[in-house]
Structure 1
Amino acid sequence: MNAPPLRQVLSPCLLIDLMSWPFFSLSKSPRHVPVSFRMGRVTMQVAGQDGSPMATIWDADILIWAVSTLVVARRRGRPVSPHVRGSIREVLRFLGRGETATRYDRLRAGLERLAGTCVTTSLRQTRDGVQGFSWVVAWQERRGELDLILPQWLCDAVIRRAVLDLDPRYFTLTGGFERWLYLLVRRHAGRQKDGWAFDLRHLHEKSASRSPYPRFLFEIRRLVTADSLPGYRLRLEAGTTPVLRFSPDTVPESYPQDGVDNHVEDS
């Protein structure tokens, strides 16, 4: 029996490293100010090339589609290549977006930002030193068909299974801040019964947010009250330094398919 088309079994996945660090702008308005980040041994510079805006967390949805496509290929024993193909229509449907002309244009603009964003980080340290990369090496669209070339290291990470499944409801989150928080919570809490916790000063630093700490604290409190993160519960513990605790609201065996280790570095 022939294997079903990939689009019938595609479920959202993302690389673990992309869920822990401030790689993307959280604002819907163009961000031209680069991200300059340092925490422990991790350093990061993210900027648009030639003054263009950097990629946003909504643009990263395209990477989720591409990574998910590669994960399906890997699970089926097919070759995993940086060259990913699909139709614009399939991408929009996967992301739960409408198929209007405006949506097509926004997707193309997102591809341009992904290709035009330069990232230099110690997470990509090699024998030759720190190396820079763009999220998309090249892309082309012809008659609604998309050809996408990803960095080789991203493809290698999929082969190493350094990915986590995401709740499809992630795509319904409308705020950049809550999307960022979901990814971080998914990365660190996983399906661990006891979840994880961050003190808010540390979390604010980790976000590389341009907002002052009081505004950051306000946003955290708002999300705790809204209780809108798919699959997780948030709890804010008051104290000299407030702590955000988060844990899965349920721990079914079928979700997530790829869990995190019980000992995740608090970094």
Structure 2
Amino acid sequence: MDDLLLPDRYKQNDFFICDVFDSFKDDMASMEHPVFSLSKKPDHRVLVYESNGNSIKIKPSYTGLATILDKDVLLYLASSLMNAKNNREKISKTVRFTSYDYLIATNKGTGGFQYKQLQEGLERLKGTVIQTNIKTNGVEVIEEFGLIDRWKIVKEGTKGKAVAIEVTLSDWFFNSILGDSVLSIDKDYFRLRKPTERRLYELARKHCGNQVTWKIKLENLKAKIGITSPTKTLRFNINKIAETNHLPEYNISIENDMVMFTRKEPPKENNASGQLPCD
């Protein structure tokens, strides 16, 4: 199975994943829509999702939408901030870290290509904008914000190698840290090769959680993943993943276009239920 995953380059601690829309208390459905592009090529689509009269619009910059691989920066920052918060240290929206530590923590190489990818990812994170309209008790609030507010890279030496990164988080992200709106994720998430596999793991982690099983119709799963490829392609890919069984923490199976996620092992918290929620 190891050839299906990226090499485990370094020994890592557990990380945390931030649920993007947890700050919108009355719009829980919007958390389930894909925000990050799964494309490996520049994605300049404007994504629009609607649920229960509320809408979410995700707009790219000239560099394209932020990708699910760019999201590793946010996972790293969430992990760092939660660790500091749990240790009763003071935290702020502006976080300074070394590029080397980030690359090691997220199981990436440390060559020039990876440093270039990091900068391009920061550009896409800064440029991608989310617009929401939330309707509550007859009042509509339209709001627009970026994934991050600003970033800075400090370089030194004749080759100009990145030494330190400084990122200022947007309010929505920082508020999710203050509110403990995070979920732990398996470190092998960073070894998943394909963007779709990462998105499948995220959905399993969020919806299955500590339950024994989560079931969802294939068409509904396709919408949550955010892909435009034919349904038959997703069906084929899920069957292949079911054969290899290499997703961290969860098994996946499909029968009559009903996809089922089940935990490989009981959660650390012993409160799993045997219910089978369906979407």
**What is the aligned partner in structure 2 of residue 220 from structure 1?**
238
Matched, 1:76 2:87: yes
SS of structure 2 residue aligned to 1:137: strand
What are the ranges of 5 or more consecutive residues in structure 2 without an aligned counterpart? 1-10, 22-30, 156-162
Matched, 1:198 2:216: yes
Structure 2 counterparts to residues 1-267 of structure 1, below 5 A: 11-17=14-20, 20-49=32-61, 51-122=62-133, 129-143=141-155, 144-192=163-211, 194-238=212-256, 242-253=257-268
Gap change, CA 1:261 and 1:118, over 3 Å in 2:
farther
RMSD: 2.8
Structure 2: which amino acid aligns with 1:165? Answer: S
Equivalent pair of 1:196/1:246 in contact (CA under 8 Å): yes
> For residues 264 and 140 of structure 1, what CA distance do their matches in structure 2 show?
46
Post-superposition Cα deviations, 1:142-169, rounded to whole Å, max 9, x if no partner, equal 1311111011121111121111011000
Gap change, CA 1:109 and 1:123, over 3 Å in 2:
farther
Structure 1: which amino acid aligns with 2:38? Answer: L
Tell me by how many angstroms 1:48 deviates: 1.2
> For residues 261 and 9 of structure 1, what CA distance do their matches in structure 2 show?
30
> For residues 55 and 251 of structure 2, what CA distance do their matches in structure 1 show?
30
After superposing the two structures, state which structure 1 stretch, 171-180 or 194-203, moved more: 194-203
Structure 2: which amino acid aligns with 1:164? Answer: L
> For residues 155 and 264 of structure 1, what CA distance do their matches in structure 2 show?
33
SS of structure 2 residue aligned to 1:38: strand
Equivalent pair of 2:66/2:124 in contact (CA under 8 Å): yes
> For residues 139 and 124 of structure 1, what CA distance do their matches in structure 2 show?
32
What are the ranges of 5 or more consecutive residues in structure 1 without an aligned counterpart? 1-7
TM-score by length of 1: 0.85
- Aligned residue pairs, count: 251
Tell me by how many angstroms 1:84 deviates: 1.2
